[in-house]
Amino acid sequence: MVKAVVIITVSDTCFKNHAKDESGPALVQLVKEQFPDAYIHTIIVPDEKELIERELKYFCESNIDLILTTGGTGLSSRDVTPEATKAVIQREVPAIPIAMTLESLKKTPMAMLSRAMAGIRDRTLIINFPGSKKAVVECIEVVKPVLSHAVSLLANDLVEVRAVHDQMQSGCPHKTSRVVLSKVALRHRESPYPMLEMTEAFNIVDAVMMHWTERVEEVPIDQSMGKVGAQPILAKEPMPPFPASVKDGYACLSWDGVGIRKVRSAVTAGDTPAAPLASGECARVNTGAPIPTGADCVVQVEDTKLVKATDDAETELEVEILVAPQPHQDVRPIGFDISLGAVLLEKGDLIDAAKIGILAGAGYLKVPVRVCPKVAILSTGNELQEPFEKTLRPSHIRDSNRIMLKMLLREHGYDSIDCGIARDEPAELASAIAGALAKCDILVCTGGVSMGERDLLKPVLANDFGATIHFGRVRMKPGKPSTFATCDYEGRTKFIFALPGNPVSAYVCSLLFVVRALRQCTRYTSEFARMRVRLARDVKLDPRPEYARAVLHFPENEELPVATLLGNQCSSRLLSASGASVLLELPGASETCKVLPTNSVVSALVTGRIDFSRPELYVM
Ligand SMILES: Nc1nc2c(c(=O)[nH]1)N[C@H]1C(S)=C(S)[C@@H](COP(=O)(O)OP(=O)(O)OC[C@H]3O[C@@H](n4cnc5c(N)ncnc54)[C@H](O)[C@@H]3O)O[C@H]1N2
Ligand code: MOO
Ligand SMILES: [Mg+2]
């Protein structure tokens, strides 16, 4: 089902004067006729490759089903749409432009000059159309019959795909579910899942994730950020590879002491010095430049005086050294920064920017890292609609969980694929889960895990995938109905975190369970750093242990930072997680303690960035 289409007019002329764009509106009209319910967005961009690429990538990341470009597919030097498309797509669909060209050739041989491309990025199909309105109308007729099926294949919307395949073949079984919805009177009135303590849940996640088989892959260093090194990496050369000057000044022989020196030569960074330096001589050097053999120190220019130069002042002939230099003064000897054979990256190290710079400097363009599980994110709920749909449908809300979790995992160094929204229908849930499991190792879904008659995740996982539910309820707030399961799918163990639909529950449980699991898989410490903080105000305790979202500030001369909660902690209120630096580990209320008074010291997990806390914003 085609839900969202973007039409991009690529044309310098139309970019300057939108009124000249006829092809874009024509495409809009044609798309509207075929997909009347689809959300259609149009933009006009100039014939700039980088800009077109940026827009294509943006819309692919925004879950658009179809991107249709018009213009820029010809032979002129400004025609770059195919190149931009090629740079963005992951897989080509060559038959689409071929079909369009064959059809257009019936009308004009000029169709031979079209360089249009078509291809896929993630779940978006991109098709280049020619720039002329007449050609657009002809070409859209060619592709119309396949657009919907193509989008369904990409959306992995197995319901529609199975239906189409069923029409083409007889009797292949449509994915159904063993879960029966109708007998609502038989619903659970008490959760059948024991309530686990947090530590039990953490131990289960740690133990089960040990089933992840550790694998190693080599990745380009610019794709290794946040990954874990799989083996030690050693320096193949000493750094610096030559004795290098630390200052701008003059390379000298230290035993010459103070006095006049003949300026024998100049060595700037990148130069290779010629003959060795003799006593009474010096060589002008820049920071980073190799010092000539014979020299054993550098005197900074501030400690010298010019004695003699050529009349045109282009050459220094003699300088006076005013301060007696020490041997090796301001010289970085060979290997001073990194000695030959030094360990640049330890096995198990988390790769950060500095490490990537060190690897680059040492001539490593790839690095072996521990393979990270592929993560898929799926939202569930009849009440959900796509964020880009302008108008809210009655009793609907926009899905905020998917993009939030994708970004949250990215914040912690993990990529993920977006598997869209599944409705609370057993067969559709089963199909969506099947589609997601086919593409991932860890599935994170949100919604439908509590006590509602349409909370189907647990039953569908257990009945349709034979999943082992390791836990289905945890004594925590937020996140009580969190579910962790594993199943065997297409011969591989799949790990499934079915988290509550409430955005804050999904946020907290992704941090505490999903990030933990991912760190386990790369054998990296699974715990977040813990610190002790003081409460800025009284905090009422919930009966369950609570992970309260807070920001910190660091009063002068105070031993502990002060934590301010981000307002009402209700698990539907995502604002309570916005800008959170820490999750406070608050105990459950007891008979004797229902409120933690101001200045109480509690432990906090450092799950966010600390440097932009603005507690002054949260004065209650
Ligand atoms: N009778 C009981 N009711 C509930 C219990 C209980 O123990 N007994 N548990 C409550 C707790 S605690 C939680 S947490 C929620 C979790 O419910 P579900 O996991 O079944 O989540 P849903 O019902 O699907 O949705 C909950 C809430 O979140 C909204 N939602 C769902 N998905 C999204 C999304 N992708 N983006 C934004 N918002 C989303 C949804 O509209 C609901 O408002 O159950 C309590 N109930
Ligand atoms: O467990 Mo829920 O996330 O508190 O509402
Ligand atoms: Mg529910």
Q: Which residues contact 612 (CB under 8 A, 6 or more apart)?
A: 579
What atom in ligand 2 is closest to the CA of residue 476? 1
Does any ligand 1 atom lie closer than 6 A to the CB of residue 384?
yes
What atom in ligand 2 is closest to the CA of residue 481? 1
CA distances to 380, 503, 590 from 398, in Å: 12, 11, 38
Q: What is the mean pLDDT of residues 18-47?
A: 92
Q: Which residues contact 183 (CB under 8 A, 6 or more apart)?
A: none
In this predicted model, which residue has the larger pLDDT, 612 or 247? 247
What atom in ligand 1 is closest to the CA of residue 383? 41
Instruction: Band the pLDDT of 160: cuts 50, 70, 90.
Output: low
Collapsing DSSP states into helix, strand and coil, what is residue 552? strand
Q: What is the mean pLDDT of residues 291-301?
A: 94
Give yes or no for residue 290 having a pLDDT over 70: yes
Q: Which pLDDT value is given to residue 620?
A: 45
Strands (E), 229-364: 233-234, 244-245, 249-252, 259-267, 281-285, 297-300, 304-309, 316-321, 331-332, 343-345
Q: Which residues contact 179 (CB under 8 A, 6 or more apart)?
A: 426, 456, 459, 460, 463, 464
Please, is 194 exposed, middle or buried when counting C-beta atoms within 10 Å of its C-beta (0-12, 13-18, 19+)? Answer: exposed
Instruction: Band the pLDDT of 45: cuts 50, 70, 90.
Output: very high
**Digit-coded pLDDT (tens) for 82-106:** 999 999 999 999 999 999 999 999 9
Report how far residue 211's alpha carbon sits from residue 252's, in angstroms, rounded to the nearest whole number: 63
Distance 480 CA to ligand 3 centre (A): 12
| Measured CA angle at 441 (ends 58, 347), to 5 deg | 95
Instruction: Band the pLDDT of 168: cuts 50, 70, 90.
Output: very low
Does any ligand 1 atom lie closer than 6 A to the CB of residue 61?
no
Does any ligand 1 atom lie closer than 6 A to the CB of residue 401?
yes
Range 537-558 burial, b when 16+ CB lie within 10 A, else e? bebebbebbbbbbbbbbeeeee
Please, is 614 exposed, middle or buried when counting C-beta atoms within 10 Å of its C-beta (0-12, 13-18, 19+)? Answer: exposed
* Protein residues placing their CB within 5 Å of the ion ligand 3: 450, 452, 455
Q: Whose CA is nearest to atom 9 of ligand 1?
A: 450
Q: Whose CA is nearest to atom 32 of ligand 1?
A: 501
Q: What is the mean pLDDT of residues 361-375?
A: 95
Give the ligand at the shortest distance from the Cα of 187: 1
Distance 369 CA to ligand 2 centre (A): 36
Q: Whose CA is nearest to atom 4 of ligand 2?
A: 478
Q: What is the mean pLDDT of residues 323-345?
A: 95
Q: State the chain's mean pLDDT as an integer.
A: 92
Instruction: Band the pLDDT of 618: cuts 50, 70, 90.
Output: low
What atom in ligand 2 is closest to the CA of residue 482? 1
Give the ligand at the shortest distance from the Cα of 381: 1
Which among 475, 502, 507, 508 is the best mutation to test ligand 1's pocket, defined by most ligand atoms within 8 Å of the CB?
502
Please, is 324 exposed, middle or buried when counting C-beta atoms within 10 Å of its C-beta (0-12, 13-18, 19+)? Answer: middle
Could you give the percent of the chain with pLDDT greater than 70? 95
Q: Which pLDDT value is given to residue 173?
A: 32
Give yes or no for residue 72 having a pLDDT over 80: yes
Distance 500 CA to ligand 2 centre (A): 7
Report how far residue 183's alpha carbon sits from residue 544's, in angstroms, rounded to the nearest whole number: 32
Give yes or no for residue 589 having a pLDDT over 70: yes
| Of residues 57, 40, 51, the one with CA closest to residue 12 | 51
What atom in ligand 1 is closest to the CA of residue 191? 7
DSSP 8-state class, residue 510: I
Residues contacting ligand 2 via CB (< 6 Å): 477-480, 500, 502, 505, 571
Give the ligand at the shortest distance from the Cα of 406: 1
Give yes or no for residue 170 having a pLDDT over 50: no
Q: Whose CA is nearest to atom 26 of ligand 1?
A: 501
Which residues, in sequence order, are bridge partners of residue 297? 252
Domains of the chain (ranges; CATH) run 4-167 (3.40.980.10), 216-238+338-370 (3.90.105.10), 244-332 (2.170.190.11), 375-522 (3.40.980.10), 530-606 (2.40.340.10)
**Digit-coded pLDDT (tens) for 175-230:** 678 888 767 777 778 888 999 999 999 999 999 999 898 899 999 999 999 999 99
Q: Whose CA is nearest to atom 12 of ligand 1?
A: 480
Distance 450 CA to ligand 1 centre (A): 7
Q: Please, are residues 147 and 107 in contact by the beta-carbon 8 Å criterion?
A: no
Is the peptide bond between 478 and the residue preceding it cis, with omega within 30 degrees of 0?
A: yes
Could you give the percent of the chain with pLDDT greater than 90? 81
What atom in ligand 1 is closest to the CA of residue 421? 35
Q: Please, are residues 485 and 193 in contact by the beta-carbon 8 Å criterion?
A: no
Three-state secondary structure string covering 440-467 = CCEEEEECCCCCCCCCCHHHHHHHHHCC
Q: Which pLDDT value is given to residue 166?
A: 47
Give yes or no for residue 242 having a pLDDT over 80: yes
Q: What is the mean pLDDT of residues 422-430?
A: 93
Phi and psi of 555, rounded to 5°? -60, 145
Distance 497 CA to ligand 3 centre (A): 15
Give yes or no for residue 294 having a pLDDT over 80: yes
Does any ligand 1 atom lie closer than 6 A to the CB of residue 455?
yes
Which among 477, 542, 586 is the best mutation to test ligand 2's pocket, defined by most ligand atoms within 8 Å of the CB?
477
Does any ligand 1 atom lie closer than 6 A to the CB of residue 240?
no
Q: Which pLDDT value is given to residue 85?
A: 98
Distance 426 CA to ligand 3 centre (A): 14
Give the ligand at the shortest distance from the Cα of 483: 1
Q: What is the mean pLDDT of residues 49-62?
A: 89
Does any ligand 1 atom lie closer than 6 A to the CB of residue 464?
no
| Of residues 611, 615, 593, the one with CA closest to residue 602 | 593
Give yes or no for residue 619 having a pLDDT over 90: no
Instruction: Band the pLDDT of 275: cuts 50, 70, 90.
Output: confident
Give yes or no for residue 171 having a pLDDT over 50: no
In this predicted model, which residue has the larger pLDDT, 389 or 616? 389
Does any ligand 1 atom lie closer than 6 A to the CB of residue 447?
yes
Instruction: Band the pLDDT of 614: cuts 50, 70, 90.
Output: low
Q: Which pLDDT value is given to residue 191?
A: 87
Instruction: Band the pLDDT of 163: cuts 50, 70, 90.
Output: low
**Digit-coded pLDDT (tens) for 433-467:** 999 999 999 999 999 999 988 899 999 999 999 99
Q: Which pLDDT value is given to residue 272?
A: 80
Give yes or no for residue 28 having a pLDDT over 70: yes
User: What is the largest distance, in Å, between two alpha-carbon atoms of the chain?
Assistant: 105
Give the ligand at the shortest distance from the Cα of 478: 2
Give the ligand at the shortest distance from the Cα of 475: 2
Report how far residue 583's alpha carbon sits from residue 529's, in angstroms, rounded to the nearest whole number: 11
Q: Which pLDDT value is given to residue 487?
A: 95
Q: What is the CA radius of gyration of the chain?
A: 32
Give yes or no for residue 133 having a pLDDT over 90: yes
Report how far residue 505's alpha carbon sits from residue 571's, in angstroms, rounded to the nearest whole number: 6
